[in-house]
Amino acid sequence: MRTIELTYPHSLTMDQLPETVAAIGFFDGIHLGHQKVINHAISEAKKRDMESAVITFHPHPSVVLKKDVQHVQYITPLKEKQEILEKLDVDRLYIITFNKELSSLSPQQFIDDFIIGLNIKHLVAGFDYSFGFKGKGNMKNIAEYTRDKFTFTTIDKVEMDNEKVSSTKIRGLLQVGNVEEVQRLLGRPLIVSGTVVEGDKRGKKLGYPTANLHIHPDALLPKPGIYAVKVRYKQEYLEGMASLGYNSTFTADRSDLSMEVNIFDYKNNLYGQQLQVEWWKYVREEIKFDHVEALIDQMADDEREIREFFSNTK
């Protein structure tokens, strides 16, 4: 997959670009609804013997358009989004910088520059996609802006249990730790990437050595607690338990979240390594224990429960 970053105005010309079928949207999470849009574009591209593309934006429009929003955390930060799209066999990814200039474009200016100007011959979008100044362009009136240069397909909403699959729904589920339902809506586990950093090595003293992960601040995490997780290291998947919280048994008034993963039956040094953590099940909330022995007993119970959970999912 080729990734091309664009700002307005871009310098690409149509004669530089292949005829393309593109899916367009922000696609945070790349959930089942997003996948339907993207897969339709890929399928249509194959039928037409064209390249497939995804057109997305960064940062989130709310960072630019809402004065009270300074920073947004993403279900799929940009790096993870790129990796997922590559696995879906998208040929090219256009990442358009969302800024004040872009938000001020009329619908026609946006279409001329980023659809017609990118040699898009067929565009696929969800029913609620909008474009141009104040979202005045949408999939109901897009025919007014095509200049007969491209055709389009509108994908209806995808529902599960009579409710729309949406990024907003997934964000709400993460706030309550329901990573199992999140997995259903994504069609895969939530994945968070992090780098192993040196911690206080307290877990090793307790008999549960942990990998302390530095997580990029762009990543949206579930609520604090203990979770059943799978860790991907290189090409290997390892089972374990993650503690996301404030180490309340050992630290008082800590405000920054820490994430530690005890990987079952694994003893190698992982300092400096990049790990991908898959979130499979919420086990319990973080508890402040009065005695270290009580914490150790609880961790043993957690391990038994998580090992049993994974043995039942095989």
Q: Which CATH number fits domain 2-163: 3.90.600.10, 3.30.70.2860, 3.40.50.1820, 3.40.50.620?
A: 3.40.50.620
Q: Helix 167-175 vs helix 179-186: angle between axes, to the nearest 10 degrees? A: 160
- How many other C-beta atoms lie within 10 A of the C-beta of residue 140? 10
- How many other C-beta atoms lie within 10 A of the C-beta of residue 177? 22
**CB contact at 8 A, 40 and 155:** yes
Tell me which architecture the domain covering 180-313 has in CATH.
Answer: Beta Barrel (2.40)
**Reduced 3-state DSSP string for 223-261:** CCEEEEEEEEECCEEEEEEEEEECCCCCCCCCCCCEEEE
Query: Is the model's pTM score more than 0.85?
Result: yes
**Which residues lie closer than 8 Å to 217 by C-beta, 6 or more apart?**
71, 73
pLDDT in tens, the chain (314 residues): 999 999 999 999 999 999 999 999 999 999 999 999 999 999 999 999 999 999 999 999 999 988 777 789 999 999 999 999 999 999 999 999 999 999 999 999 999 999 999 999 999 999 999 999 999 999 999 999 999 999 999 999 999 999 999 999 999 999 999 999 999 999 999 999 999 998 766 656 677 889 999 999 999 999 999 999 999 998 899 999 999 998 655 565 555 789 999 999 998 889 999 999 999 999 999 988 888 889 899 999 999 999 999 999 87
**Which residues lie closer than 8 Å to 185 by C-beta, 6 or more apart?**
29, 31, 32, 160, 165, 169, 170, 173
**Domain segments of the chain: what residues?**
2-163, 180-313
* Residues in the chain, overall count: 314
